[in-house]
Amino acid sequence: MARDRRDYYYHQAKEEGYRSRASFKLKQINEKHKIIKRGDSVVDLGAAPGGWLQVAKELSGGKVLGVDLQRIDPIEGVETIHGDINAESTITKIIQAVGTKGADVVLCDAAPNLSGNWSYDHARSIELATSALECAKKILKPNGNFVVKVFQGDMFDDYLKEVRENFVRTAAYSPKASRSQSAEIYVIGKKYLTAPLRKGNEFVVDIEKLGSSGDGAILIEGFVVFVKEVEVGEKVRICITDVKPNFAFAEVEERLGKFEKSE
């Protein structure tokens, strides 16, 4: 506690009425990455004691919901749910609270109880962050944003890759309010993808028409994919190279000849 009492952000939190110094981390994340905008619905996972809820309410002014197994003291204009984010019953309660269209933003500043064994604590952090991501995928709107705290370590790159597969843009960011000796870092995903495919997926397709840019234009499960350097009538094996909210790009991996048009 002595260290906290000498900490600039600890004092600032006390002076400005925030429940924790972590409030400034969300302020700095939002200033840099524009995660929360006015009117957004925000869900904070592992929200106790409520410092991020206070800031989320200030930033959005809209629906703000905190979820935790611990009790969260009331905050004006903020709803709370007591529950485990891994439980389907909790997911149901969240959706009932924010609406079936989902939330605009999902946050998670939670951390596991530290054991002092760094490998174990890192693994527990990744496990918690993975649970937050899985929850976010169930409750985020298309194009929604996601922020989660992770401890750095040898499993970090794989986790970042997993987040990257689900969002248009992904970044890792350490706000100034994080202590210099801390190994925590925040993974930020912007514009949640609800496309039925992901970068690296392969498909065999028939090129029946070209788009206005001259690329092949095909539908995969109702989703538009543009294929470079093809001609109408070709059958090709393609690999998805980039996915956007409303369309994707692909390149030819193998040319399989011509396809026969049905009468």
* Cα pseudo-dihedral 12, 39, 102, 95, rounded to 10: 70
Asked about 57 being catalytic, the answer comes back as no
Is 263 inside any structural domain?
no
At residue 57, does pLDDT exceed 50? yes
Asked if 147 and 169 sit in the same domain, the reply is: yes
List all residues 6 or more positions away from 43 whose beta carbon is below 8 Å from its beta carbon. 65, 66, 67, 94, 98, 103, 105, 106, 107, 139
Query: What is the arithmetic mean of pLDDT over 42-48?
Result: 96
The domain in which residue 252 lies consists of: 202-258
Query: How high is the pLDDT of residue 196?
Result: 85
Which of 35, 27, 20, 105 lies closest to 64 in space, CA to CA?
105
Asked if 159 and 223 sit in the same domain, the reply is: no
Please identify which of the residues 149, 190, 209, 261 carries the catalytic annotation: 149
Task: Count up the domains in the chain and report the number.
Answer: 2
Is 139 inside any structural domain?
yes
Asked if 169 and 253 sit in the same domain, the reply is: no
Query: How high is the pLDDT of residue 197?
Result: 86
Of the pLDDT bands very low, low, confident and very high (cuts 50, 70, 90), residue 2 is very low
pLDDT digits (tens, 9 = 90+) for 200-235: 999 999 999 888 788 999 999 888 999 999 999 999
Asked if 46 and 141 sit in the same domain, the reply is: yes
Asked if 98 and 173 sit in the same domain, the reply is: yes
Asked if 123 and 211 sit in the same domain, the reply is: no
CATH number at residue 50: 3.40.50.150
- Tokens 């709370």, residue located: 80
* Neighbouring C-beta atoms of residue 112, cutoff 10 Å: 17
Which of 145, 147, 103 lies closest to 129 in space, CA to CA?
147
Query: What is the arithmetic mean of pLDDT over 232-240?
Result: 95
CATH number at residue 221: 2.40.50.140
Contact (Cβ atoms closer than 8 angstroms) between residue 55 and residue 75: no
Q: List the single range of 3-12, 125-134, 170-179, 222-231 with lowest mean pLDDT.
A: 3-12
Contact (Cβ atoms closer than 8 angstroms) between residue 56 and residue 44: yes
